[in-house]
């Protein structure tokens, strides 16, 4: 009877050793001490929360990357619009620079006014790019969507509004007047005055857009730091001490060997005694 008790105890110990050895082998294979909720339910739950937060912040920043791209495109378009306005001003000044100015009906005057009209159309094209975000910022609301662009910049629905900075040629934009081949000298002078005012408007709106771009960049930096913090917490909570795991594996393997040898000795001894009693 004592042999049976001893064998049962060794078998029980051997099962526990094999279970622990399987766990530590998993730690060594994965580099993680927490591979599932059964390893440590509380730590596992904390890891899952951190990874979820990491995913949330990362997803927000992915979205903000698109916003930053749209702002960059809009700024580039505004720069091109500014250069075009400069060319428009030079074109009109060429007409009025003559003394007297080139008369209505003059071929060169007509050519220059047509060029002015074409550049005005180019500005409207530049203010409505194919990028939907940039279009929301610059274009006429009639074709570019709502007046302002509300975006999520942080967790729990934290939002920011990207303000409308219209730079089309219409009254709510840069307010650049149309001219044709029959436009008078007075109309040309008025257009030159309007171009000067439009330049100031463009500068102010480009500066406002720059501030929005800075705010987006700061939100991304903040989100990135928090995302990294959550990821590091999750990884540190999961990570196994590989030296400790390796040492424990060797200890368990030794105990496994000793238990197996003990089991063999007990079963051999029991067999011999039964043979003697037979």
Q: How far is CA 114 from the centre of its chain?
A: 45
Candidates 278, 275, 276, 268; CA nearest to 3 is: 268
* pLDDT band at 100; cut points 50, 70, 90: confident
The pLDDT assigned to 1 comes to 44
The larger pLDDT score, comparing residue 146 to residue 55, is at 55
Report the distance separating Cα 50 and Cα 106, nearest Å. 74
Report the distance separating Cα 184 and Cα 105, nearest Å. 11
Q: Of 14-23, 45-54, 77-86, 167-176, which range is least confident?
A: 14-23
pLDDT over threshold 90, residue 260: no
Instruction: Label the pairing between strands 158-162 and 149-154.
Output: antiparallel
152 has which bridge partners?
159
Provide the percentage of residues in the chain whose pLDDT is more than 70. 75
Note whether 44 and 37 are within 8 A (CB). Answer: yes
Its pTM stands at 0.76
The pLDDT assigned to 47 comes to 87
* pLDDT band at 237; cut points 50, 70, 90: confident
Helices (H) and strands (E) in the chain — how many of each?
7, 2
Coil, strand or helix at 21: helix
The pLDDT assigned to 144 comes to 76
The pLDDT assigned to 34 comes to 63
């Amino acid at each position: 009877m004592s042999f049976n008790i001893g064998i049962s105890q060794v078998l029980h110990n051997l099962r526990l050793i094999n279970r622990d050895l399987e766990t530590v082998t998993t730690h060594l294979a994965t580099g993680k001490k927490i591979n599932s909720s059964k390893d440590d339910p509380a730590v596992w739950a904390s890891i899952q929360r951190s990874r979820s937060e990491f995913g949330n912040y990362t997803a927000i920043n992915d979205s903000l990357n698109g916003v930053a791209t749209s702002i960059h495109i809009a700024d580039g378009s505004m720069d091109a619009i500014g250069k075009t306005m400069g060319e428009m001003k030079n074109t009109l000044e060429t007409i009025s620079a003559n003394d007297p100015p080139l008369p209505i009906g003059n071929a060169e005057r007509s050519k220059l006014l047509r060029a002015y009209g074409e550049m005005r159309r180019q500005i409207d094209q530049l203010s409505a790019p194919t990028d939907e975000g940039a279009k929301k910022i610059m274009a006429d609301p009639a074709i570019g969507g709502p007046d302002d662009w509300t975006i999520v910049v942080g967790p729990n629905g934290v939002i920011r509004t990207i303000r409308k900075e219209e730079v089309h040629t219409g009254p709510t934009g840069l307010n650049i007047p149309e001219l044709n081949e029959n436009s008078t000298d007075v109309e040309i002078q008025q257009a030159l005055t309007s171009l000067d005012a439009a330049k100031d408007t463009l500068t102010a709106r480009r500066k406002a857009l720059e501030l929005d771009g800075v705010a987006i960049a700061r939100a991304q930096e903040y989100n990135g730091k928090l995302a990294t913090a959550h990821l590091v917490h999750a990884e540190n909570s999961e990570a196994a001490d590989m030296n400790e795991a390796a040492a424990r594996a060797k200890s368990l393997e030794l105990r496994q060997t000793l238990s197996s040898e003990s089991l063999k000795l007990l079963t051999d001894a029991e067999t011999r005694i039964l043979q003697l009693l037979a």
